[in-house]
Amino acid sequence: MIMHQDRNVKRLIVFMLSMTLPVISAADNSISSLRQQELKNLLIQDCGSCHGLLMKGGLGPALLPENLRGKPAWYITKTILEGRPGTAMPAWGPLLSEKEAEWITTLLLEKP
């Protein structure tokens, strides 16, 4: 129960912080370099808390390119945005745009 409450507090904090962060530029539909750095930090800090700081797995599965091979990019993006019901994988859709989730997917698939 306490772990569930901690997760909700964490989600609330991330949501509140995201309200002050720069958003995707509507003019060219790209993600600013500042936002890219914020997304990298989110990947390390938040995703890394379950998937391991080096994405080698933990509570959640490894997210290295070799582990993701064969999974379509749209599927990974959908998982980021919608989570996985019945598991610890939360839906990040309320905090990330589809474009940002696609950017994270590309980063995961191309990470050295």
Measured torsion, CA atoms of residues 16, 23, 63, 54, in degrees rounded to the nearest 10: -70
pLDDT in the model for residue 29: 56
Pair 93, 15: CB distance under 8 Å: no
Q: What is the pLDDT of residues 70-92, one digit of tens each?
A: 999 999 999 999 999 999 999 99
Q: Does domain 33-110 have CATH number 1.10.760.10?
A: yes
pLDDT in the model for residue 27: 32
Amino acid at 59: L
**R_g over Cα of the chain:** 14
Contact partners, residue 65, CB within 8 Å, separation at least 6: 108, 109, 110, 111
CA distance 50 to 4: 14
Q: What is the DSSP letter of 22?
A: -
Rounded alpha-carbon distances, angstroms, from residue 66 to 15, 51, 61, 103, 111: 31, 14, 12, 18, 10
* pLDDT band at residue 111 under the 50/70/90 scheme: confident
**pTM for the full predicted model:** 0.73
Q: What is the pLDDT of residues 8-64, one digit of tens each?
A: 555 545 444 444 444 333 333 589 999 999 999 999 999 999 999 999 999 999 999
Which 3 state secondary structure label does DSSP give 65?
Answer: helix
